Amino acid sequence: MSKGHGRRTAGAAAAIVTLSVLLAGCGGGGGGDDKAGGATPPTTGATTSAGNGTTGGDQTPSAEPTQILAQIKGADDVVVTLNSAVRDQDGYVTVQGTLTNNGTSIFDAVAWRGQETALVPSGPSVAGAVLIDEAGKKRYYVLRDTDGKCLCTTGLIGIKPKESRPIFAQFPAPPAATTQVQFELPTMPPAKITISEG
């Protein structure tokens, strides 16, 4: 009986050791899966990416520096950096970038909404942005939803000095053969950008 009791005790001890090893392997938290907050805007998105909502626990460095297609400098030291212009399978082009206020005053993008009365619901935004296909002699305006609001970044108001915000705008895609277009934003100089395939 003492031998049977000894076997049971040894078996129980082995089970406890095995369970401890398994628990140690599963613990530790903070693994590489903590990236749920890194989604980009339509894209952002946006924001973006972005300002793309990446959590502080994600310490993985990006594989390569952010691409810069163009940089537009406007009045009052406001800078728009365009990072991507991607054509998707649904026939749209999404342009993403960053707005940075390098000036000394608060910036509101009211003029960037454009002059169209129909764009008033979009408020301070990049609704007035346009893609121009010079070769095809066509202009492509920012898409709108059923409420008349732009498919773009809105709420661009109260941007403090040295503050940056991600921006995006979605357009109908030019023909597949068109890869070079001009991006125009009201009050800002135009910039040539290259469309890539998504």
CATH number of residue 125's parent domain: 2.60.40
Residue 114 included in any domain: yes
Task: Count how many domains the chain has.
Answer: 1
**pLDDT surpasses 80 at 125:** yes
- pLDDT, tens digit, for every residue of 143-192? 999 888 999 999 999 999 999 999 999 999 999 999 999 999 999 999 99
Residue 54 included in any domain: no
Burial class (CB in 10 A: 0-12, 13-18, 19+), 58: middle
**pLDDT surpasses 90 at 54:** no
Residue 20 included in any domain: no
Residue 47 included in any domain: no
Please tell me which residue, 75 or 196, carries the higher pLDDT value: 196
d(CA 175, CA 143): 17
Residue 92 included in any domain: yes
Give the pLDDT confidence score for residue 106 in this predicted structure: 96
User: Tokens 């935004």 correspond to what residue?
Assistant: 125
Give the pLDDT confidence score for residue 181 in this predicted structure: 97
Residue 17 included in any domain: no
**pLDDT surpasses 80 at 19:** no
**pLDDT surpasses 70 at 63:** no
Residue 14 included in any domain: no
d(CA 122, CA 106): 20
Distances (CA, A) of 103 to 80, 106, 134, 163, 195: 13, 8, 33, 10, 30
**pLDDT surpasses 50 at 13:** no
- pLDDT, tens digit, for every residue of 127-142? 999 999 998 999 999 9
163 lies in which domain range?
65-198
User: Is residue 66 very low, low, confident or very high in pLDDT (cuts 50, 70, 90)?
Assistant: confident
Could you tell me which residues are beta bridge partners of residue 171? 93
User: Is residue 118 very low, low, confident or very high in pLDDT (cuts 50, 70, 90)?
Assistant: confident
CB atoms within 10 A of CB 157: 13
The proportion of the chain whose per-residue pLDDT surpasses 70, expressed as a percent, equals 67
Residue 161 included in any domain: yes
Give the pLDDT confidence score for residue 190 in this predicted structure: 96
d(CA 3, CA 13): 15
